[in-house]
A and B are shown apart, each in its own frame.
Chain A
Amino acid sequence: MLDATVLQRFAIAMAATALALLIGLVVVAASGYDPVQFLRQLIEGSFGDGNATARTLKFTTLFVLTGVSVAIAFRAGVFNIGVQGQFVVGGFATVLSILWLAPFVPAGPIGGVALMLVGTLAAVVAGGAYAAIPGVLKAYGGANEIITTIMLNFIAVGVVGWLVEGPLRGEGNRAPNTERLPESVSLPQIVYDNPDFSVIGLGVALAVVAVVAVVLTRTGFGYDMVTSGHQESAATYSGVDAKRTIVATMTFSGMIAGVAGAVFAIMIQGYYSDPSGIGTYGFDAIAVSLLAANNPLGVIPAGLLFGGLESAGSYIGISSDVPVQLIDGISGLVVLFVAVPELFRMAAQRTSLGGDSR
């Protein structure tokens, strides 16, 4: 897939999405629901009105951040399937650090901003450290990072779930949640009047994308990462320490997952709950990144698409009786088709739509 042009990649992404949606519609029809209505609800639920758009952008913010996190690792030839765990650990670190520091900080808006910055920093450190573990295990122990990161996802969810159920449950809470973050810790509502979404959160995500794009294309570190992903032997000959690059890549990727966790904790939740019940953003991020051909900038439209799907999913879950899990299945199909560019190339050749560049 490395030799495909940008246009080809775009075409493959579109075709994969369209095919996945088509299969989704067939399943809807086969299960006895009305596919036309499903399609209409899909559009209404994602961009139908201001409320739907804000909800879409809320999910887009998370998908862009987690998607970039995945893309960094994939770019460097490392599979970070552990973004979900790093996201959970990061967000939890945000809530803990803010709750611990809040009594020492004045309650005004300046204190709030300071707390949010510290909380985000805690998430970056925690997410990076959690991702460094599989990096070290791969570089120095030869442990397959796909499996260790998946195991670390289970462990993060289990440990944080246990902490919010017991030792760190907010006083007097009936639900397994931590205490609420103080009032001053929240992002202002601009443009959209939605309590779970702030344009500032989206701005943070876009800024992170810009930083990552610059690091990957304009710095020595980024160059080392990408070359060791594409041509390991060449990178080694030119003096890149492959092991250190693996650890650095994973850490960098986990730091971004941590930012996603911080945005989730501050902008959306305002406390931390059992992570087995929050969305699987870190997994969907894999689809986002693949759809974007692991290009940090491509993650923005891909994140928008998945944000729209997720948003429509929650709308459909309320307004119709089609099970929302169907949306998860559709994003899985997108991943499957993106993995098979050959399929679309052959289809394009058969139908003489091009694709003769092979």
Chain B
Amino acid sequence: MNVRESAARNRVRIGSAIALIVLAVVVTIWADLPLADLFTVGFVSRSLQAATPIALAAIGGLYAEKSGVFNIGLEGFMIFGAVNTAAIMWLLSGGSPTQGDLWLAMLASVLLTLLYTVLFAVLLIRYKADQIVAGLAVWFIGLGFGPFMAVRLWGSRNSPGLEGIDTVTIPVLSEIPVLGSILFDTSPLVWLTGILAVAAWIVLYRTRYGYWLQAAGENPEALDTAGINVTRVRYAAVIFSGAMAGLGGAVLLAHAGSFTGTGDTMVNGRGWIGIVAYLFGNYNPLGAAAAALLFGGLDMLQIQFQTVGIELPNRLVNLFPYLAVIIVLTIWGSTRVPSAVGEPYESEE
């Protein structure tokens, strides 16, 4: 993209952002929307929880892509993460899981997803698989395997109610008005996600390893010349991305408390939305997390509409995040993709 095009695109972006804000204001005044009732503390808190799985998958995906490998299998790895957490929790506890079982199951599930991703990374990097097709395959395998596990264990595509994560209330701090109940009376997984996002940002932009990672995607030859093993960096990034998507699935399950395997399973496009979240966040872990929050908020709008009394069919409100993805992608379009993405790298040794 040359300078003129990118300047024109920036004008489109700014223009469309202003147009959207104006539209929102007009709709609010015209429909006399009770904004204060719509944007409640509960809504923000629920949105944060809804954003966590998307943010985790997005951070993983952007690491892989920064290193030069497009991991389009995030959605599939999330399904594996969710169903394995449910299954392990069930088997571990013999039917009545506790909080301890849940945490243990999440950990085991992330490790399992990590193992799957090792296989996936070998196919992508060692055997130069078509990244798009192989990623789609992971999704399809997940769509088959998730319900298969559920039917095998519970005789139905959905699990019975298992165990959801308890909120943690920090004394004193949770007394702070508004912020207190959003930040200090919430799921510990929201905190975990926040910490991981900041850590991912620091590693990517403030450590030597982060620079290697970026170089592996931008200019693998230079990195190779500098004596760093490009392949090894890419392996690490892809395996990390799968583990993060698996964690996203596990967190999704921990917030929901049971596995749903009907339709597109409970993951229901969140992995795909994760990809858009990091594009929207311009490959920045914090930006990706913020974009995930936007999608999480859209996801939770339905409950707000109901409490305020706006009559919109559930099935249509559920489509808001998908519509938002299309609008975001169209206006933001192709962000600057790392230049060596999708190309297998072979050292000249």
A: residues with CB less than 8 A from B are 1, 31, 79, 81, 137, 141-144, 146-148, 150-152, 154-155, 158-159, 161-162, 165-166, 276, 280, 283, 286-287, 290, 323, 325-333, 335-336, 338-340, 342-343, 346
Contacts and interface: CB of A to CB of B under 8 A. Distances in A.
Contacts, number: 142
Contacts of A336: 123, 129, 134, 137-138, 141
B86 to A, nearest CB: 15
Interface stretch (B144-152, B188-196, B207-215): B144-152
A339 B137 contact: yes
**Range of interface residues on B (Cβ < 8 Å):** 35 or more
Interface stretch (B173-181, B219-227, B316-324): B316-324
A325 B329 contact: no
A31 B87 CA distance: 14
Given A162-B316, A336-B141, A154 B129 contact: no
B143 interface: yes
Contact of A327 (B130, B144, B334): B144
B136 interface: yes
Interface stretch (B27-35, B41-49, B269-277): B269-277
Which A-B residue pairs are the 4 nearest by beta carbons?
Answer: A329-B144, A328-B144, A332-B140, A142-B333
A330 B144 contact: yes
A335 B137 contact: yes
A155 to B, nearest CB: 5
A280 B139 CA distance: 13
A70 to B, nearest CB: 11
Interface string B299-335: 0000000000000010110110011011001110110
Contact of B313 (A143, A154, A162, A287): A162
Contacts of A290: 133
Interface of B is mostly: helix
B298 to A, nearest CB: 13
B143 to A, nearest CB: 6
A233 B226 CA distance: 33
15 contacts: A147-B276, A148-B329, A151-B326, A154-B268, A158-B318, A280-B143, A283-B143, A286-B140, A323-B148, A329-B148, A332-B139, A332-B143, A335-B133, A336-B138, A339-B129
Nearest to A344: B127
Contacts of B138: 332, 336
Interface in B144-202: 144-148, 151-152, 157
A143 B276 CA distance: 10
B72 interface: yes
B319 A323 contact: no
B333 A328 contact: no
B322 A155 contact: yes
B263 interface: yes
Given A142-B333, A147-B272, A331-B144, A339 B130 contact: yes
Counting chain A CB atoms within 10 Å of each CB, which of B123, B316, B330 scores highest?
A: B330
B206 interface: no
Nearest to A161: B315
Interface in B262-296: 262-264, 268-269, 272, 275-276, 279
A326 B301 CA distance: 36
A328 B269 contact: no
A36 B128 CA distance: 34
Nearest to A33: B152
B115 interface: no
Counting chain B CB atoms within 10 Å of each CB, which of A290, A327, A333, A336 scores highest?
A: A336
